[in-house]
Structure 1
Amino acid sequence: MTRTDDPLSARSASVQRCALYTRVSTEEQVERYSLEAQQEVLTRWAGVLGYEVAATYTDPGYSGAQEDRPALTRLLADAQEGRFVVVLVYRLDRLARKVRLAYDLIERLERCGVGLMSYSEPNINTTTSIGKAVLGIMAVFAEWERDTFAERSRLGMHKAARMGKYLGGIVPYGYTVEDGRLAPLPEEAAVVQQMFAWVAERGWSTERVAQELNRLGIPPKYRREGRGVRGKRTAGVWRGGGVLRILKNRTYIGEYVYGKRTRKPQPELVSVPVPPLVEPVLFEAAQEQLSRNALFALRNARSVYLLKGLIRCGMCGRAYVGSAGYYACVGRTNRQASPIPEMRCTAPHVRRGELEERIWHDIRSFLLNPGEALQAFINEESPESNEVSLLERRLQALLEARARLLDLYLEGGVEKETYYARLEDLDTRVREVQVSVEAARQRSIAERQRKEALHSLESLSARLRDRIDRLTPEEKQAVARELVEGVTVRPGKGEVEVEVRYRFGQIAPHTGRGS
């Protein structure tokens, strides 16, 4: 047989060629819809119809509701090049489950002079007028089947919620789940009631409540049940933030609402009957006291710390907070964070004035002359762009190798068992490279966005340059948040090691005295 550079165009012009398209999503990995079953049936059907199979396009694990599928993209591109005259599918919903998407794909194929035929639905044949009419009906039912299942699931969840069923998630402190419903857990319910009383009747802050709970040795739910937060171990102590979430949770007065976390813009909220643990009068009194506590805290926040929220401990990972003339790790200073002395962090304090002076010197120098720092970073060639190019060329080479393998098999150059073994290996490598290409593209996009952000820093410099020495402490703090990506503090040999990461592409090591 005469060969050409294009393995798919080397067929005899007298034989019409077809393409096979197969797809399964994760939940459809069953025998009748498996990729192998679809391909086997379609291959035999193509022979009966008198077509030669030009290529098989397979999308494993992709939803029929999405258009962005690797094999489908290649199929449409090959259709434009006239590599086949018809596409064979096992069912229409293998191609698309959305009416609009199905029609869009079929119209794009028709513009290329390519028809569509379905094995399981003989009337779907876009080369005939009756087939086009039936197509619309079948596409509607494919989408209807999918949407009906989703709607039934949603209605079932809402019905269960109205009946008082607890539909999963973290069980609120003070409750347990019995027969699928929230029920009071006596030993924890008493703690919840005491927490509300401490705040409403004694005026305690959330920090004071947490300290008392830790002093009394009352374990939080995570420690009592031996669980962690997002898979990570915790110190197993009460903190002010956790206390505040309990005091703000209206579930404790029987007002639990299901549906707030749905992605729909106007979610359907369902009130779920829950046994209350706290009287409404006590709950509202606690809310009023929390508001007074917050106002008092604001009035006493006299000092403005330049690096507030930007410093992390290199030993325990906790935040550094301002305290008088120092920044200190909360894992060392806050008894609530580490109530057991042996568990407290030993990271050193950092002299506030010295650290702030050094960092503001760097910020001021950048704002007065940003050109050199920015230009060096912006002109730096991004390795991600080269990586994407190399991976795309590798992917193209694998796709061409797969096409050549198919050509060789159809010409009788390799046995069936050898063909399938080599095809499986190629498909595995193609999927691996496709994942790598997508990851490299995402890194490239992130790099480009960062460079665009750097350009915006030039605008910030232009706005502040003339009054850089007249900024208020609050304005300096805001500028530091814009330009400092993060600060890490670690103990060094006889001194404190501080690493400052700036958003204008510099990492500045500092050393200083600590305690």
Structure 2
Amino acid sequence: MNKTAIYVRVSTQEQVMEGYSIGAQTEKLKSYCSIKDWTIYDIYTDGGFSGSNMERPGLTKLIHDVRQNKINNVLVYKLDRLSRSQKDTLYLIEDVFLKHHVNFVSINENFDTSSPFGRAMIGILSVFAQLEREQIKERSHMGRVERAKEGYFHGGGFIPIGYDYVGGVLIINEYEAMQVRKVFKLFLNDTPIDRIQKTMNSKYTYKSGNWGSHSVVRNVITNNLYIGKVSFGGKSYDGKHQPIIDEEVFNEANKRYAARSNIKGKSNPFKSKHLLTGLLYCGNCGARYFAKGNYSGRGENKRYYPYYTCYSRAKTNKKLVVDPTCKNTSFPVVKLEPIIIEEIKKLAFDPSRINEIKGQVPKKENDQPVIESRIAELDKQISRMLDLYQNNNMPFEQITARIEQLNDEKESLTDELNNLDINQPTITIDQAAELLSRASDILDNGSVDERRKLIHSLIDRITIYDTDFEIQWSFT
């Protein structure tokens, strides 16, 4: 029996631009098997996954079944469905398929590896598949550079605080621009960044979130977008948009920022090189995860291997240790980050899952209406006590004692209300859909900063449970 594995892959962009839908590929491959009288062993599907690496669930299962000698043929619609990397393509064909006596067939190119000519053509075409990928990436990068030179913000998943992105142009959002000016004013009045963050977070929100992190404040202070500039690839250009901050104010603020950080002329030391810093929490003890690493090897072979680990387990900062006995799993950065990226790409491929995820999250009991009602009742009681005092219907001592008691209860309830977690989403469903529409391009081609901003906009928290994890999305 000629047992055949059908493998289909599509990324969101390819499905829209080139028509490589999962259904279209599958039907053509089934018809080919019928003509050849091949038995379909299984259909392996990777929807919304890039062909630039092999971290794909469908491909992983296919490789496992090949190595278990369950398959005679692997059938794809087109060579680049298997991979867009020359190295990965040749590895799969020579070291996985042929090694286990499995033929590889691509119907679009009309050849298979059962013949010497087919094996030679595989190598040649895989070179062109990778060349095409590199050219697409280069054209995309060049287009964004030219757009920046013309003064246009490059767009992407993150729209800066203070602006709306309308028709490819930044337009000042007056309410948010007021917040940006407030940050600069506080900073130039020598207010510490952590106090600025708390002040802003207690009073304001912006379109895609709140001032819940010190990094939001730092990014505002150091972003020359606010003086009418556009930056891309480490270079700045005059922007088409209107500035929010006077250039002298911006320069003075950044001069003080550099002095505070003791990094004049250098990059921001608070800017992490890792994409998930600030999002990870331990499901065992509740402490934060952070990135650290070890060096391995000697001389030219010495390499740095970073990994995410629980503060309680690492014990590098006593203030952040929750349970010194915690032994929760540490994840290599190169392993965990691609997993989270692929979770985002799955959503980008099928945005309808946003509503499913939102519906799966249990709503927390909301005490806000009860507390607000009690505070309103206390205000009425205080008002009545003041009326009694004005009408001389009650002794002054009794009135003041009662008002103090009512005020104490009101202050306690107000503090409770301010700290109440009512499970409100950070961004709306529409905002999430807008971010996801650009996610694949940013995650594949964006800078570290752009990728981090996108991930942090979509995800509020990732909880690590041994070898598993749970994502708290921003829209739930």
Query: TM exceeds 0.5?
Result: no
Q: TM-score, normalised by structure 1?
A: 0.40
Query: Comparing both chains, which one has the higher relative contact order based on Cα–Cα distances under 8 Å and sequence gaps of 6 or more?
Result: 2
Q: TM-score, normalised by structure 2?
A: 0.43
Largest Rg, 1 or 2:
1
